[in-house]
Structure 1
């Protein structure tokens, strides 16, 4: 029994130590100049309310003489295309494309990204989401890091901007999860496609590696097309890397609790191999990060110093892991990490909701069905 009550704290300590090691190894883009042709590829669909800051930041990029900016309007029903035209003016670097109808077997974002990639012959492709705002040296720095790291695909995670309490509880789990559980250098060296992670908000690809992997056409039906593309690059013999892009990019993915729930629900089912795998992950997270709370409370009620200490140490180690992640990736270091047990419980609920709605066949995103091909 004495060993069991210390199990959550032991696991939390090991995982927090791993996060600390990863934080020290994490690659970070720095200001640089980059002379090879680079194309920034921006797919937009009904983004009138958000695309302005993104496009302005792209127009302010420096250090890349051969920069082009391609924007694809994917059947928007608002004033997205007109806003893009107004902001771009007569800047020769910007091209606005009209998206083709969505073919059978494709999801919307892979189709838009593939059309953008087909419209340029630049050596480096930089895929950016409309909710991302880049610092002036971001594209040059990320492209230079791609080359210096000798990888075919680089995912530079932006700083996640949060507003509501729901965002503050859930969104930091994105960076925390891969920093805590993924061995970064082993992932870069390993040829195993299963050992891969990527974030599509700010994704930098070598054109030859992208083509060898089949591009977005090869992941046309993938809800998590960014991770699927990273795995495809590995299968084609390429290498991938993650980087902290918090100093050069920011992103507010969701602006309300409702949109956050919808966004996670549409894709979480695709993050695990099966319902059994998903359940195992959620149970492990609850064991490590939730169980210390009832251990502590039970110890207080029972007057057991051992239970109190085991619960308190386990909880604080979990909080410290979140602080490490926030410090390494530009997140909020305080007081948000204190809510780690609640964050894990919310994540478990979102996973269950995603599987339930997928099974019911009612998952949708941007007024399009999310179909598991």
Structure 2
């Protein structure tokens, strides 16, 4: 076998392994179950919101419609917004006594990122009898059973943290290329059924858009103060819990929870720039992961197009495996497949290229001090 054939074979093997892992996760990943549920313990939902006047009212309406919770409280923190977030939230809350709206105009302290400081402040406002602490981003949309289903799963699994993975909606071409990679990145590499039963920090998966904590476990590690300077505080706090011997579990939340994280290419690029520089421990890790991704997901389709005989067949097999993994991961996330999902999966090599470009842009912005998100410099305050 020639060196080129060996390289194509190795790359296709990586893709095939990803497809097998995605198949196992499509079958074995737990999914939030629709009601009816009944949760009798006090549940507090915390929503940090900065410049979310156009998205927050929809989430408030969803929270007001939640069912299966006998004792629900909602804390909303307007984190120094400049777009009328408080007014929009107040109008949406109306006279619902379960909601409390507060505002913070203080810049995050030294060693804190904006979101971790906001989450920590919200946790401080919870009442002593709260047993379950939930954090939601303002752009999440919920079915009426979503919170009760997540709390039920938290208690069923006896975990310290339940991480419901929302369906990541994608509407623009840039979003369709990139957003499904979030779920694919763990669905094709990590056996969730195994990860949910272990406390290895390296096997943690979390999505900060929707996190459900046993509050005693949350407080035992120091809450968000334990990850104050992290720009990926969701994954960091899950790892802290696991290091403390606590289990964190992942469940697919679609269609009970969904979100459109970014709207369009420019917002997507700015959003990924905010955190991709930290994803693999620094530039060296990003180069290593990026190189593996490029070889595994560019070489097989190139071999399928340019190769001959057995090399072409191996390349076609590797490319088909990569597309299959994308489709399995997307259907795991959404519970179904749409035509746009199939087109995006076929364009997987372009998705990898877009991801690598975003990673390079994130590292460049980090090195030049140009990282900003919603008017704030990204990273811990100095």
Task: Give the shorter-chain TM-score range.
Answer: over 0.9
5 Å-filtered alignment, 1:1-373, equals: 1=2, 2-30=5-33, 31=35, 32-99=37-104, 101=106, 102-121=108-127, 122-299=130-307, 304-330=308-334, 332=338, 333-371=341-379
Q: Are residues 158 and 315 of structure 1, via their aligned partners in 2, closer, same or farther at CA, if it must alter by over 3 Å?
A: same
CA RMSD of aligned residues (A): 1.3
User: Is contact 2:40–2:69 with CA below 8 Å preserved after alignment?
Assistant: yes
Q: Distance in 1 between matches of 2:185 and 2:85?
A: 34
- C-alpha separation between the residues in 1 aligned to 2:92 and 2:228? 31
Indicate the larger mover: 61-70 or 1-10.
Answer: 1-10
Gaps of 5+ in 1: none
State the distance in 1 between where 2:8 and 2:263 align.
Answer: 40
Q: Distance in 2 between matches of 1:287 and 1:123?
A: 47
Cα distance in 1, alignment partners of residues 87 and 10 from structure 2: 58
Task: Output one character per residue of 1:304-362: Cα deviation in whole Å (capped at 9) or x when no partner.
Answer: 22232122111111001011011111164422211110001111111111111111122
The answer on whether the counterparts of 2:8 and 2:299 sit within 8 Å (CA) in structure 1 is no
Moved more, 8-17 or 224-233: 8-17
- Inter-partner Cα distance in structure 1 for 2:251 and 2:185: 14
**TM-score, structure 2 normalization:** 0.94
**1:298–1:307 Cα contact (<8 Å) kept:** no
- Contact 2:232/2:275 (<8 A) preserved: yes
Matched residues in 2 for 1:21 and 1:329: separation?
14
Take 2:15 and 2:126, find their aligned partners in 1: how far apart are those partners?
A: 47
Aligned pair count reads 369
Structure 2: distance between partners of 1:314 and 1:278: 23
**Cα deviation, residue 372, structure 1:** 5.6
- What TM-score do the two structures reach when normalised by structure 1? 0.96
CA distance in 2, matches of 1:270, 1:173: 17
Structure 1 stretches of at least 4 aligned residues deviating more than 6 Å after TM superposition:
none
On the 8 A contact 1:214/1:232 being kept in 2, the answer is: no
Q: Distance in 1 between matches of 2:285 and 2:156?
A: 36
Q: 1:100 to 1:77 in 2, by over 3 A?
A: closer
CA contact (8 A) 2:77 2:103 kept: yes
Deviates more, 1:258-267 or 1:50-59: 50-59
What is the distance in 2 between the residues matched to 1:165 and 1:173?
A: 14
Cα offset, 1:100, TM superposition: 5.1
